[in-house]
Amino acid sequence: MNRRRFLGATAALSSASALANTTGKPALLGGAPVKLEGSRKWPIFDQTEEKALLEVLRSGQWYRGSGNAVRNFEQKYEQLTGAKYCLATSSGTSALLTSLSAMGVTAGDEVILPPYTFVATLNVILEKHAMPIFVDSDPETFQMNARKLDAAITPRTKAIIPVHMAGAPVNLDAILATAARHGVPVLEDACQAHLGEWRDRKVGTYGLAGCFSFQASKNLNSGEGGAVLTADSDFFQRCSAFHNNSHSSHGGASSAFDLYHAPGLNLRMTEFQAALLVAQMTRLEEQYKIRESNARYLTSLLKEIPGIIPARLHDGCTRNAWHLYMLRYDKSKFANLPRARFLKALAAEGVPASSGYTPLNKASLIQTAFASRGFQRVFAEADFKNWAARNHCPDNDQLCEDAVWFTQTVLLGPRADMDRIAEAMRKIQNHAHALA
Ligand SMILES: Cc1ncc(COP(=O)(O)O)c(C=O)c1O
């Protein structure tokens, strides 16, 4: 049997066995769990990473500028993404902070972001004593609703941060056009979107800046780490100086000490992180292919289950980085079984899933920041009063109630695991009354 026939036969077999078990009892009611077979082990590494780390260790050149690892990584990431400049940083958060700083975002400004994102996107704005302005989510794609962006922009808006949530590109055509019309720079938060593409070009290369995270859960991982991409050389120089305590060259102790033109911080990547990233990058494309193939297959299965609605991709998306697999759960098609109970039933099946983000525009840390002396000094009473009305995001509120996520490690499992996920959901649906 040739490979294609074999794969076809095994796929048919696994679908058939999944169907045969559809009427089986959910594990939560005493039935046999479907149990995913994939190990979901993360990170994945071998002697390549060990050798790379040992080389740096033995060289004694552990910090940026003493060795070549960080610059080597930047060059490789430039090649991989097609970016003109890459600046490695200590984390995704520091990449975002570096970019906002180099854009000149400061106290009293407004910065636009989506409410469906990791808290770091918000924290860097508050750190600048700028006011976060949230643009509601599009429930179908889980991304910033580009149609609502224009109305959120004011003369105070100094940056727009669309987030390529879960690795899927936002509607860059619409967001970039709106931003350009208002003359506001775009900072792409691509922290979850390594290798993601919009119209065959890597995300993170469209805005003035594109920021990435290499934190432990990410598809490209060095424990902690980040990067800023840009095509603008002046902006790159400002980023470089900011992340290197105001030094205009990003060398180490030997660099010039007379060029403190603007405030900065130490947000440099270490040689260890960079060496690890170069090794991990050799796995990225292959892992992407597995995730992509499994995700497509999973979508084809889940689309057939009433009440399970996989996140839609924008037409311009030519590559989803698949950091997460996101879907909406419509409990009305599951005898009103609450999402928490649905997730519990999935967990009992050996299918790990989570409920994802809570509405970031409602996080109490915003009010804590607003109550601080810094914010109180810079903004007027009316700014705080009007904020809640300006930042009402009803679609996102609903999305946060309905969302279900799988991590990228689930997508690295065998194809039959996708059948098992669908099987688990069908079992739960068929017994939803009993589970409720
Ligand atoms: C969308 C988004 N933005 C920013 C960050 C911050 O990156 P880091 O954890 O590397 O600081 C993350 C990381 O989880 C993220 O997912």
Residue-wise pLDDT for 251-300, tens only, equals 444 455 555 889 999 999 999 999 999 999 999 999 999 999 999 999 99
Architecture of the structural domain at 12-41+283-356+400-435: Alpha-Beta Complex (3.90)
pLDDT at 259: 58
Q: Using CA positions, which residue lies closest to atom 7 of ligand 1?
A: 92
pLDDT reported for residue 12:
44
Q: For ligand 1, is residue 144 a contact (CB within 6 Å)?
A: no
Q: What is the mean pLDDT of the chain?
A: 94
Distance from the CA of 412 to the center of ligand 1, in angstroms?
A: 21
167 lines ligand 1 (CB under 6 A): no
pLDDT tens string 37-56: 999 999 999 999 999 999 99
Counting ligand 1 atoms within 8 A of each CB, the residue from 113, 137, 170, 191 with the most, and so the one to mutate, is 191
Edge to edge, what strands does the sheet with 317-319 contain?
201-202, 197-198, 317-319
Pick the CATH number of 47-279 from 3.40.1180.10, 3.40.50.720, 3.40.640.10, 3.40.50.12280: 3.40.640.10
What is the number of the ligand 1 atom nearest to the C-alpha of 165? 1
The mean pLDDT of 168-189, rounded to a whole number, is 98
Q: Is the CB of 163 inside a 6 Å radius of any atom of ligand 1?
A: yes
CA distance readout (Å), 386 to 156, 253, 300, 376, 392: 15, 48, 44, 14, 11
Q: Look at residue 8 in the predicted model and tell me its pLDDT.
A: 44
Model pLDDT, residue 248: 79
Quick one: pLDDT at residue 421?
A: 98
Pairing of strands 131-134, 317-319: unpaired
Answer positive or negative: Cα dihedral of 367, 368, 370, 376.
Answer: positive
Does the beta carbon of 91 sit less than 6 angstroms from any atom of ligand 1? yes
Q: Which atom of ligand 1 approaches the CA of 226 most closely?
A: 10
- b/e burial code for range 377-388 (CB count within 10 A of at least 16 → b): eebeeebeeebe
**Each residue of 401-421: pLDDT tens digit?**
999 999 999 999 999 999 999
How far apart, in whole angstroms, are the C-alpha atoms of residue 53 and residue 282?
15
> Is-same-fold flag (12-41+283-356+400-435; 47-279)?
no
pLDDT band of residue 213 (cuts 50, 70, 90) is very high
For ligand 1, the distance from its centroid to the CA atom of residue 306, given in whole angstroms, is 33
pLDDT in tens, 60-70: 999 998 999 99
- Residue 192 CA: nearest ligand 1 atom is 16
| pLDDT value at residue 327 | 99
Pocket test for ligand 1, best of 91, 93, 188, 324 (most atoms within 8 A of CB): 93
Q: Is 92 in the pocket of ligand 1 (CB under 6 A)?
A: yes
The structure tokens 């759960």 sit at 329
Contact 158, 110 (CB under 8 A): yes
C-alpha 363 – ligand 1 centre gap (Å):
17
pLDDT digits (tens, 9 = 90+) for 382-393: 999 999 999 999
Q: From the CB of 189, is ligand 1 less than 6 Å away?
A: yes
Catalytic residue numbers? 218
Q: Is the CB of 136 under 6 A from ligand 1?
A: no
Lowest mean pLDDT among 7-11, 67-71, 326-330, 365-369: 7-11
Share of the chain above pLDDT 90, in %: 91
Closest ligand 1 atom number to CA of residue 217:
14
Among 123, 124, 213, name the best residue to mutate to test ligand 1's pocket (greatest count of ligand atoms within 8 A of Cβ). 213
Alpha helices in 66-164 (DSSP H): 69-81, 92-102, 119-127
Instruction: Calculate what percentage of the chain has a pLDDT beyond 70.
Output: 92
**How many whole angstroms from 122 Cα to the centroid of ligand 1?**
10
Residue 372 structure tokens: 């601080």
pLDDT at residue number 258: 54
Sequence spans of domains, the chain: 12-41+283-356+400-435, 47-279
93 ligand 1 Cβ < 6 A: yes
Residue 108 has a CB neighbour count (10 Å cut-off) of: 17
At 308, phi and psi to the nearest 5?
Answer: -115, 115
